[in-house]
A and B are shown apart, each in its own frame.
Chain A
Amino acid sequence: MTVRCLLGMLGTDVHSKGIRTLAQILRDAGIEVIYIGEHNTVEGMARAVVDEDADIVGVSFSSAAYIEYTRQLIAAMKRLGAGDVPVMLGGIIHPDDYGVLREIGVSGIFGPGSLMEDIIAFVRAKGRSNI
């Protein structure tokens, strides 16, 4: 089945250049990207994950609040019965926080210097027909 990947940003973060580039690159890798842009609420994004039946959700952060936002997002997804959908993060994520983020339940972290081919391979592997 075609892999569906939901991409967006939370809160006041507006640095969308990176995630838009990723949307295009995933498109060119044959993935259907549901792009929901900036200024989403945690609840709104979690509901979009359910309604769009996303195989994976990717959130880009350039602000410092990413641990709290990610914790809330995963909690909201669990509450809506979508706790099994993997979450990946990109943008400016400090390596010191990787451990905490993985404890929260983040499956993939792609900070500065990440290779696009690694992200593509990661997203492809999360397609449900590939599990």
Chain B
Amino acid sequence: MSGALPPAAAAVLAGGRRAAARLLSLAEAGDSGITTDIKALYRAGGQARIIGITGPPGVGKSTLVDGLISQLRAAGKRVAVISVDPSSPVSGGAVLGDRIRMSRHAEDDGVFIRSMAARGTLGGLAPATGDAVTIFDAMGFDIIIVETVGVGQNEVDILSHAHIVLLLQTAHGGDDVQMVKAGILEIADIYVVNKADAPGSEKFARALAEVIAHGAPRTDGWAPPVLLTMGIEGSGVAALLDQIDGFFARQAAAPLAAQARQARQVRARVLALADAALRRRLGTAREAGLEALIAAIIARKSDPHELAAALVHSSVP
């Protein structure tokens, strides 16, 4: 990039936490005035490792994140955390409470924790997750941990953002029929059975490992491991980090598969942005040309396919 950085992007690149936090709020509000900043920051990033953590509510995601932060900090890594909790479907409000589990890092300059509300999305993340990752990446955080809302079976948006996905469960995750169902159980790079002191944890982990071993082999050659952890004591966290390192080593050895994954994520990100832009144009904006075309469709002089094709093609340079 040349010298002319937009002011907010320049402040973020200079390490300004308040500027970054403010930019993130504007991204959450869908403010199109920050697009030039986000664009500049995207081009400045690309170094961070993005670790996604997902799993049902109460399974110990935030507590495990706390343990991961501790060990990553001990290894000298700077860590950003994006922690998503649900928005109220009734009021739109939220109680974002994940920070509580990470309070021992509250005074650490090398840690930036941001709580986000899902704001009506159903994929387990917040709409501005991509922009948040862009901001933290540009700020030079080595690791960005993205913690989803507590999920059920079908919320897999984390795949569009994370370089590696950890799925947390406990021994109460159900029997082996649950395990062969399609959905979230297929997406993890590492499976974690947390609260491993609960009775039945090892049996659950064995059953899960069996189901995964029977799955189709992955194109990147990685065989997802199943690990036992007790997040609250930090036990198993070191082994988990070893497996994460092992995964990235494997990715480095299989660059084509890694590139394919990156390309899938870029496609997903572009699709989300294009989708939002089209929704804004069709849903709220009142463009004269668009209004006339809609009138023409109503009069059967045109048709919805015609307008859809025009909208998709007109914006591509």
Contacts and interface: CB of A to CB of B under 8 A. Distances in A.
Contact of B100 (A24, A37, A51): A37
A11 interface: no
A23 interface: yes
A4 B24 CA distance: 12
A113 B114 CA distance: 34
Interface residues of A, number: 32
B160 interface: no
Interface in A1-59: 1-2, 4, 23-24, 26-37, 39-41, 43-45, 47-48, 50-53
Nearest to B22: A53
A81 interface: yes
B21 A53 contact: yes
Interface in B85-117: 87-88, 90-97, 99-100, 103, 106-107, 112-115, 117
B91 to A, nearest CB: 5
A82 interface: yes
B93 A33 contact: yes
B43 interface: no
A31 B87 CA distance: 10
Contact of A40 (B28, B29, B95, B106): B106
B22 A1 contact: no
Contacts of B97: 35, 37
Contacts of A1: 25, 29
A40 B25 contact: no
Interface of B: 17-18, 21-22, 24-25, 28-29, 87-88, 90-97, 99-100, 103, 106-107, 112-115, 117, 119
Interface of A: 1-2, 4, 23-24, 26-37, 39-41, 43-45, 47-48, 50-53, 80-82
18 contacts: A2-B29, A2-B119, A27-B91, A27-B95, A28-B88, A30-B92, A31-B93, A32-B96, A32-B117, A34-B96, A35-B97, A37-B100, A39-B103, A48-B99, A50-B17, A50-B18, A51-B112, A53-B24
